[in-house]
Amino acid sequence: MNMDRIIIKGGKKLTGEITISGAKNSVLPILFATLLTDEPTTITNVPSLIDVEIAISLLNFIGKKTIKYGNIVKTYISNKYKYTLPYELVQKMRASILAVGPLLARIRKIKISFPGGCAIGARPIDMHLKAFTSLGVKILNIDRNFIKIYAEKELLGTNINLRFPSVGTTENILLASVLAKGNTTINNAACEPEIVDLITVLNKMGARIIGAGTKKIHIVGVSKLRGFCHKIIPDRVEAATYILAAAITKGEIVIKETIPKHLRVINNKLRKSGLHIKEYENTIHVKWIKNLIPQNITTNVYPGFPTDIQAQWMVLMCLLNGNTRIEEKIFENRFLHVSALRRFGANILTKGNTVYIKGVKKFLGTSVSVSDLRAGAALILAGLAAEGETIISKIEHIYRGYDTIEKKLEKLNATIKKIR
């Protein structure tokens, strides 16, 4: 059992410079894309995350020799691919489902348990399965936990209409259809920057895909893909978390190695609240100047307000003078952090998929445990703002998505340490 904890002595303004790591939600599908070629690949700007370690372990198990050196991952000539994925790895990470698309494209079969990850809602894989059947595969329920997906002949391109612009489903269709016979069109596709990054890699490999960043993506199937070298885009969720950390602690931070246009909806909301934000080519300067004004938000798919920032945003709203409403439209169970924030002194009322917040003057340090990845980031932000000491347990969730968060915050003048 992991007994690591984070201890924070709050109340200090964050100041200084921070460099953003590569995007978790970009590197995972790109790692699984390496299954589509037998040629060597090199991926740079890879963050050091638990989910990256799990993905690399899965690739090695499948038969793709994969090694991480610092922030570089290299893959080499493949062995014969295994098609049965181990439950103990798959159940740790939702993104394990992204192994299905490339394996169907290469060996036409896979046996997998239902993937795990954060407990933030049902997150069914029915959209993935429906898309795969459109490409000509068959689904066999082996038991309550395992499914076998297989194709008796090569995958065939088709039109796929998504009822919701799911990021994972869009990625899996791309990974499966690039080697399919004929053309595939994804209607109502996800438009996130991480989708664009995956398509950039697939096109480097020799795929023929147009429409990246739009609701309609068109794929012309090819017979073979080659190796590639690619630098992962910066993590917009990590960048937004540190922007909010500056606002919450009334500090001043320069955020380097980021892409400001990926954060437009968040930065515009914060400017409206009164936070000073100046954007440069790959840098954002954040400075608290005056008391901020609360802002209501509703989460939505990109380019709307990201669900992955909802918990962190809630912390800021709890500490502002006035009332705020936050509506969650993506996941049905993403308010698990509310009870923990109440322990700090937050005044929050939950009704269905909406929370109503009445601002308080301050938080007091407390002991809390982490329920999921983004909730963990929110609790760290709350601890940074709180008077006194905060102890956070079950922190392994945090390191699924934040590269050495305690070390980065230390550089920004925070009193924070990770202990065992």
Please give the positions annotated as active site.
Answer: 118
CA–CA separation, 400 vs 372, rounded Å? 9
CA–CA separation, 111 vs 173, rounded Å? 18
Q: How far is CA 98 from the centre of its chain?
A: 13
CA–CA separation, 396 vs 420, rounded Å? 12
CA–CA separation, 391 vs 368, rounded Å? 6
Exposure on the CB side of residue 195, measured as CA atoms within 13 A: 27
Strands 347-351 and 354-358, sheet pairing: antiparallel
What does the H/E/C string look like for 137-188?
Answer: CEEEECCCCEEEEECCCCCECCEEECCCCCHHHHHHHHHHHCCCECEEEEEC
Question: Is the omega angle on the peptide bond into residue 303 within 30 degrees of 0, that is, cis?
Answer: yes
Helix runs in 258-360, H state only: 264-273, 310-318, 338-344
* Strand-pair partners of 305: 299
Cβ–Cβ < 8 Å for 249, 387: no
Strands 367-369 and 389-393, sheet pairing: parallel
- What b-and-e string marks burial along 95-122, b requiring 16 or more CB atoms within 10 Å of the CB? bbbbbbbbbbbbbbbbbbbbbbbbebee
Cβ–Cβ < 8 Å for 254, 285: yes
Would the CA dihedral through 145, 173, 59, 396 be positive or negative? negative
* Strand-pair partners of 254: 17, 285
Exposure on the CB side of residue 149, measured as CA atoms within 13 A: 29
